Structure 1
Amino acid sequence: MPVAPPRRTLLLNASLEPLCVVSVHRAVVLVLTGKAMVLETDGRLLHSERTAVPVPLVMCLVRYVHVPHRRTVPPTRRTVLQRDEHRCAYCGGGADTVDHVQPRSRGGRHEWSNVVAACARCNHRKADRLLGELGWELAFIPRAPRGVAALFAATVRTDPSWSAYLVA
């Protein structure tokens, strides 16, 4: 049974800084128009009547593109669990949910500095109380994740061949 080509390709700037993820179709168009070159491939080829193009997993632009600003990643359940490596901020066990350190019912905001990963047991025990009321302490100060890797981790499922290009 033939293996389907990947659906997404990591696109890097000419400086090898990650820019975005594009469809394989868009990636092939960029290669055929001379705007990008393939850096990583899985060895397979995409054939047309007159040409063959390697299946691009990672590619970079030929010319540098200035990017004026970086988007920030919102604190969703997936991104918070990923930041905290699926470990409960209170007991250190496996986390499956998120908790607001200062509960929203007490004026806490839904922002990176107030949201941590938590196991269901700790989340239920804490409920809408403050850490001081329970005598609990956080093992770390919650912060927004930094780097391009955080942006890609939050938005798409990454290919293993991308890891060398997504270092923070």
Structure 2
Amino acid sequence: MLLPAPPRTLLLNASLEPLCVVALPRAVTLVMSGKATVLESDGRVLHSEHVVVPLPVVLSLTRYVHVPMRRPLPPTRRTVLQRDDHRCAYCGSHADTVDHVHPRSRGGRHEWGNVVAACRRCNHRKADHLLHEIGWELRWTPSAPRGATAFLHGAAVDEPAWSPYLAA
């Protein structure tokens, strides 16, 4: 049985720090041009008439690339839901939206410490109230994702071979 190719490949700097995730065609191009080497493969190979390349799951650049300081990741709906593992910060059920703990209508800011994942029911019931006004408490304290792999949150779950390289 032929398994589908991995849709993405983890790209590491020459220092083995995670840089980004690239699509399979870009990964093969980096390997073929000598700019990257395959560190992890799933055992399958890609064939051309004259070349055989292991199917890359993790690549490492052959030369170190200086990466300028990354700007903090903004709290978007997707990133907040990923950070909170799609769990409502109020009741713990499946979250499908986000909520401002201190409502924006009352001067709350759109920042990591004030935005949490919420289910529609809790988001609607809370409305523009403060937590102490309705007697609610957060299940955890919201904070910005930390580490160089914050942009890859959840990736280790999707691709187990990446886990050793994403440990921070």
Normalising by structure 1, we get a TM-score of 0.87
Letter in 2 for 1:112: W
Cα distance in 2, alignment partners of residues 89 and 49 from structure 1: 55
Tell me which residue corresponds to 1:121: 121
Letter in 2 for 1:47: H
Tell me which residue corresponds to 1:42: 42
Letter in 2 for 1:59: L
Does 2:161 align with 1:161? yes
Tell me which residue corresponds to 1:23: 23
Tell me which residue corresponds to 2:138: 138
**Is the 1:87–1:117 Cα contact (8 Å) retained in structure 2?**
yes
Q: Where in structure 2 are there 5+ consecutive unaligned residues?
A: none
Structure 1 runs, 4 residues or longer, greater than 4 Å off: none
**Which structure 2 residues correspond to residues 88-127 of structure 1 after superposition, within 5 A?**
88-127=88-127
- CA, structure 1 residues 39+111, in 2 after alignment: closer, same or farther (shift >3 Å)? same
Normalising by structure 2, we get a TM-score of 0.87
**Is the 2:83–2:153 Cα contact (8 Å) retained in structure 1?**
no
**Is the 1:152–1:158 Cα contact (8 Å) retained in structure 2?**
no
**Is the 2:40–2:56 Cα contact (8 Å) retained in structure 1?**
yes
Tell me which residue corresponds to 2:56: 56
Does 2:148 align with 1:148? yes
Between the aligned residues of both structures, percent identity stands at 69
Q: Name the SS of the counterpart of 1:123 in structure 2.
A: helix
**Is the 2:101–2:114 Cα contact (8 Å) retained in structure 1?**
yes
RMSD value over aligned CA atoms?
Answer: 2.1
How big is the shift at 1:113?
1.3
How big is the shift at 1:138?
2.4
Q: Deviations over 1:10-38 (max 9, x none)?
A: 11011110001122222222222222110
Q: Name the SS of the counterpart of 1:39 in structure 2.
A: strand
Cα distance in 2, alignment partners of residues 92 and 3 from structure 1: 36
**Is the 1:14–1:63 Cα contact (8 Å) retained in structure 2?**
yes
Letter in 2 for 1:165: Y
How big is the shift at 1:6?
2.1
Q: Deviations over 1:49-77 (max 9, x none)?
A: 11111110101011211112124222122
